Structure 1
Amino acid sequence: MAGRAKRKITDGALDRVFFVLGGTATVWLAFLLVGESFQLGWGQLWFPLAYWAFVAYLLLPRLHRILTQIYVPGYFIGRARTSDGLLGDPVNLALLGTEGQVHAAMRSAGWTMADAVTFSSGLRIARSTILRQSYRQAPVSPLYLFGRQQDFAYQQEVDNSPGKRHHVRFWRCPEGWLLPGGRAVDWLAAGTYDRSVGFSLFTLQVTHKIERNTDVERDHIVHCVSVAEPLASVGVIKDFSTGYHSRNGGGDTISTDGDLPIIDVRRIPAGPGLPGPSPHTGTGISAPTVVGGLLVVARAAVALLLVPKLLGSSAQFTHVVIDGAPADPDVARTALAVIAAVVLLFGVGELVLAWRILAGRNWARVAAMWLSTVSIVTQAIDVSTGVSRITLEAGLAGLACDVLILLALSSGRARTYARSAPRRTRPRRTQHVS
């Protein structure tokens, strides 16, 4: 047990190192891309768009995540947090009751459970928003409370457009956890109203913009449940938090009076046909793991494609002169064959590594990050000493691949998947003692 705990601490420290290195390497890559912009010219439409996507979805989120671990409190302060660690929406509701009773109350009140955030649901909400098509189960972005994202979320679409909607996220409270002041509740929730789609002030990502007065949405949820379910009762903790004006994780201004309604749904029958397990839980493979694994495959493909080029270039060495004497073609071919064999083994090893990363093996994830780190540090030393120069034509694509692998596999979701993926274990043989 002591060895396992020590290994866990060591793995955690190593992950933090890779996390910071990923952020540092991303900043360096951003400067290199800016330098290349002067060569290409910003008039080319694809480059500004690519640079915006890089900054908005890779650079700024990683920097926020690093900095918020330093200055944002990790304990309960009545605010959820974004996946980047920024303070998110205010926690403005509490509930008493089982999960089945909460589902029954929300469905009876006319709310629809939101889909899980997946690649397909993300594409669908993007298409629905652009084409102004209805998507009543549109997913909501993850927010975090108690160190984990919401257990489930409900919403009400407005004007048949996912760009405008009422929505509320629910978190189950930890066993024995009490609100400040000593009150016990079963669930906490954060309800806000999406008024439009725009850009985040803090990350520049495309996101929903919420209505400033979050108390209106809070009272709307309470009203919907109270009208639909006479068995539900509502109490209010006045001035639960100080009334304040602030900003959420997207940079939207929010305000609240600080009251906390508590909805008691314990008398409501759970009823049949309840939703299954939370769509946000489980051990399914994470998107960052898939991205990291595919990038490792791409790195392996480059190595394997290099092998025939090396073997086919031996004829060029018949004309090479070293110290005034022609090089021995046989020695050159042997050297190239050895190099090609090493590159081939590296490529095959990378394919095995990618396979084990996708299978959820933590050692493979760490090994891939080590390889990317060594490559990035080596290139940084070469650039700083003037040995080489990284440009769009030479080296930038490889560096970007290494940085993206480090970013993807050092993310929290990739780490969680690698440490929680189910393992196939062989049954132990029982020894019979006669």
Structure 2
Amino acid sequence: MIDPRILREDPDRVRAAQAKRGLSDEVVDRALSADTARREAIATFEARRSEQKKLGKLIPQAQGDEKAALLARTKTLAAQVKEAEAAQAVAEEEWQQALLSIPNLAADEVPAGGEDDFVVLETVGTPATFDFEPRDHVELGRMLGAIDLERGAKVSGSRFYFLTGVGAELEFALINLANETAREFGFTQVIAPSMVKPRAMEGTGFLGQAADDVYRIEGQDMYLVGTSEVPMAAYHSDEILDGATFPLRYAAFSPCFRKEAGSHGKDTKGIIRVHWFDKVEMFVYTTLEDSYAEHQRLLDIEKAFLDKLELAYQVIDTAAGDLGLSAQRKFDCEAWIPTQGKYRELTSTSNCTEFQTRRLDTRGRFALDDGSGGTEVRAVATLNGTLCAVPRAIVAILETHQQADGSVKVPQALQKWLGREVLEPVTGG
């Protein structure tokens, strides 16, 4: 959640942030009203409780009618205390719910607008051109015996698939390369659970605007994650971390599950938009002050990985209306997909500042810089970044590195994992 002090001290900043995302500022007024009601409820409860304590001390010393009057007042006051305590609980819940519904405040540099209002920051490489009619990844996957969409649909339904033969080998090669890259940059490798409790999902902001995309396990209070960002953000929930160990950098592998609600008719062919995929996700805990440089570092790592795959791509600054609930700023790397004639997202990295850690009660203990030897406990920042989302990486590799006969050249960085320089067709075109 956002820092409540910003809401109280500079509500117009929050209203402007809502407008930048294309959202109503009604929630700001609702949150301020709830905060006022909460403070008044706390004051009322504390006043009643204080009076109750005072009467409790007077009763043993009173006699006769005075004692009877005090006992009667105590009975009335007990009911008032109970009522004030209940009112305080309701006001606190309304305040918390209003605060939780406010997205992170987008950075000043973030473009205003929606999905199509991004700004291209950089273009890397030259999009592939061919002296033959290029095949899409569906046809190439069939020729290579790499992707089986028909049996995926038969077994699990639409937007599911089997990776077979060199397709499965290509996934393992990509995961190995991603893990190797993560180790090179000092990340601790993690295999994260793909099922989490509601608090983990809510704490990362995925039960807000993204709730329709989340799979809930019927009959259990559990969710399937759409990214290992969720378990990694909750990994240190309710902990006070040693600030001297920062930054904490993790690279987590997990299967990911998404309903793809609202994507009906989009990317129905192939494995660009699917309900399940495997991914290696970078996740970092650091200070707010260092989070901005760390965000650039995550972007540089993603670019280094795409360079290893020998892909052409562009880097975009995502517009405010296309940011997730918890992101303050997000950069996407979009690879060129030849048969679509456009760039498509392969990786993204977001700075979530203190938004997730405030919801999950993750804090750090830091030495004071006043020479006193003392420490302070404060909120910390989190960042996430996709290192490799397997299906889209496969799409980009197959289409970019295809040859006229349907074979596909293997990027040099993957050759040691695949044990070959070319993926050869097993069926005709």
TM-score, with length taken from structure 1: 0.27
TM-score, with length taken from structure 2: 0.28
More helix by share: 1
Higher relative contact order (CA 8 A, sep 6+): 2
